Every structure is written in C-alpha cells, then in structure tokens.
Amino acid sequence: MTTLSTRGLTRSFGGVVAVSDVSVAFLDGKVNGLIGPNGSGKTTFFNLVTGMIRPDSGRVLIDSTDVTRWSPHRIAHAGLGRTFQLCRVFPRMSVLENMLVAVRRTRLRELLGGVAGRADVLRAREWLARVGLDHLERAEARDLSFGQQKLLELAAALMAEPALVLLDEPAGGVNPALTERIADLVRELNVREGRTFLVVEHNMELVMSLCDHIVVFDRGSPIAAGTPSEVRSDQRVLEAYLGV
C-alpha cells in the first residue's frame, strides 16, 4: 500500500494563492474524498502531488519518501495513478493502443508498428473487460462517448497497477448508470485488492456513499476532515458550501 501526505504545501499563481500551507494525510487502504467549492484548490493540489506543477514551498511524501521534485513519470512509477477532470486519451489511437501506451514500456514507434509485449496486451484486455470496453478495443478513442472515454482513462491508469489512484471528478459529465459503474469498480478495487483512492468530486451523493474519509478544502486550505457523517454536520463545511 502507498500513503500520501503533504507538509506545508503552497502554490500561488500571479499573486493568487491556490494552495496555502496544506499539511494533510490520506488514509491508507481507504477511499478518500477531497471536496470543496469551486476554486478551492482541489485540482491544483492534485497537480502538485502528482508532479504536474511544482510547489512554491512545502513537501509531498509518498510513505516516508520526499517526492516533491520528482517528475510525473517517476511519481507514477512510485505507485500513483491518476485521471483528469477533462479526459486525456489519444484520440486517433485505438482503445487497445491507449492502454498499451499507459504502461510506458513500449516506445510509441514500436507500438504503432505492432510491437507490444503479449503480457501487456493480455492485461490491457483484462482491464478493458472489467470496465466494459473489451468489445471496443479496435475502435479509435475519438469515436467513444465521453463516458466511455472516462472509463478508458481509468482503465489506462490502472494498467500500471498503482497502489494509490487519484480520480479527478470521475462522475463529471457522466450519466447516473455509468457513475454507479465507476463507483462499483472503485469499491471492488478497494475492498478486494486493497487499493487506496483519493477522489475529487462535486457529486455529494457519490462522495458520501463511496468515501471512508473526506478532506474539505476552502480557499486553498483544509478546513475539515473525517467520516462522511462528521463532515456533513461540520459547521465550517456548511458555511463554506452554503454560507450558513
């Protein structure tokens, strides 16, 4: 398992503090939620802990290792996988090719020339079957629906067998049936395989039903943390969301 924590993490953009002195730890082996109003710093926090952007100060720790200055590629190999708020797939590549690129052991030129390890292909097909896309492996990613692209991105993130998976708004723009399919897969991977999840999501019904532990951001800083019932009744959370 992989534990993620931060110490004094801070990042500003043009004088606007997006993430401010954040020291937080997420529970190993659980489904963690990260919620907050729009503009509260959630996606910036994701980008900081995955190496997409560098902090102005503070540290990111995986277990006890400081990975603050590591590249996204190196952090991914340390056991972190992620999806994005807006799907990032290779639109002109097939569904199967998108899966194989995710493991990053095959050079793109070789992949396009049909050279890929049989073990990787078999594993890619297994993941596609688990998310219900195995019948579309030859289709170009651009021909998938938005929801199917979300499933493809999740499956590709899981190809590297990450111990910790960060999901950025997995239910955004997705119909209720597909949202529930994603939730069921997260529960299965968590309970049966022990994977840790950190989920940023605006769908409060999904967060409250899916997550074991929730951290609430407001104006770039955590204001509350606890179980869904604890967070739901926290006055600071009510003020941040409802102004009451």
Report domain extents, the chain: 4-89+144-242
pLDDT at 117 over 90: no
- pLDDT tens digits, 217-244: 999 999 999 999 999 889 888 887 755 4
Decide yes or no: CATH 2.130.10.30 for domain 4-89+144-242.
no
Strands (E), the chain: 4-13, 16-25, 31-35, 57-62, 65-66, 80-82, 164-168, 196-200, 213-218, 221-226
> What does the pLDDT read at residue 243?
56
Average pLDDT of the chain, as a whole number: 89
Contact 169, 146 (CB under 8 A): no
The predicted structure's pLDDT at residue 114 = 53
pTM (predicted TM-score): 0.89
Ranking 116-125, 140-149, 161-170, 203-212 by mean pLDDT, the lowest is 116-125
Instruction: Report whether 22 contacts 58 (CB < 8 A).
Output: yes
pLDDT band at 106 (very low <50, low <70, confident <90, very high): very low
